[in-house]
Amino acid sequence: MFFKSLRNFALLAGCVCFLGGCSEESESPSFRKSEIRYGTDDLNRLDVCTPTAQPDGHRPVFIYVHGGGWNQGDKSELQAWQIEEFIDNGFLCVSVNYRLSPYPVEPKRPDRVQHPRHIQDVAQAVAWVVGNISRYGGDPTRLILAGHSAGSHLVTLAVTNQKYLQAENIDVEYIRGVCVLDGGGYLTMTDDVIFANSTILECVYNAVGDESNRDAWFDFAPGNHITEGKYIPPMLLIHSDDGIRVA
């Protein structure tokens, strides 16, 4: 493993647990941020954060996908102090925006952004990293994916339902680990908690359609794509003690 130990990485990754949906920006003298367009939609943008000093060789890359119920949120969730932690510990950071379903939710709107557009965008962003990050001092074969809430669902789906990465010609083994923060990565689409909480259920309907769309629901749930013998990167699961957030 390229990080010293799983325990040390867990402590480092834990710093992103304090996101709380905050999008406050601040500058830092220890890194520079470059916004890059990776696709044709206006939301197809990512931030590449590199040390101000000349990078010391090709660093592993921490790729963050924000939460927000698949309909809100922004790449600025990854704040300056969190980026500094990763930069100081030898990583580059990339924070990703992706197309969003409507907010307020409109689950019956036929032309809305819905699955699989979110995950297609995340895969396209990872493909941009693989193809370009070496120019910024990053190693495209040593990637960590991390996400919060809906973002955790998307990074988990990327490494379990691997057809989206494969469509972008990405070797899944370049992804050396996944950090799942609060909730979305555990979705089975049959959990009672989804149906017991109207806010979550409306977000799911908004993002993927209702239960009548069985193929999309199956495709959307990360656990449906775990099979014996498939390479799936090690996963670090971090969650609160709120039962809804563990759903």
CA nearest neighbour of 67 among 77, 52, 57: 77
What's the rounded mean pLDDT across residues 145-149?
95
> What is the pLDDT at residue 244?
52
DSSP 183: S
The tens digit of pLDDT for each residue in 176-235 reads 999 999 866 667 666 655 666 778 889 999 999 998 899 999 999 999 999 999 999 999
- Cβ-contact 63, 127 below 8 angstroms: no
- Cβ-contact 67, 99 below 8 angstroms: no
The fraction of the chain above a pLDDT of 90, given in percent, is 71
Read off the pTM: 0.89
DSSP 99-162: ----SS--TT-TTS--TTHHHHHHHHHHHHHHHHGGGGTEEEEEEEEEEETHHHHHHHHHHHST
Helix (H, G, I), strand (E, B) or coil at 247: coil
Distance (Å, rounded) from C-alpha 45 to C-alpha 36?
A: 5
> What is the pLDDT at residue 247?
40
What's the rounded mean pLDDT across residues 14-34?
62
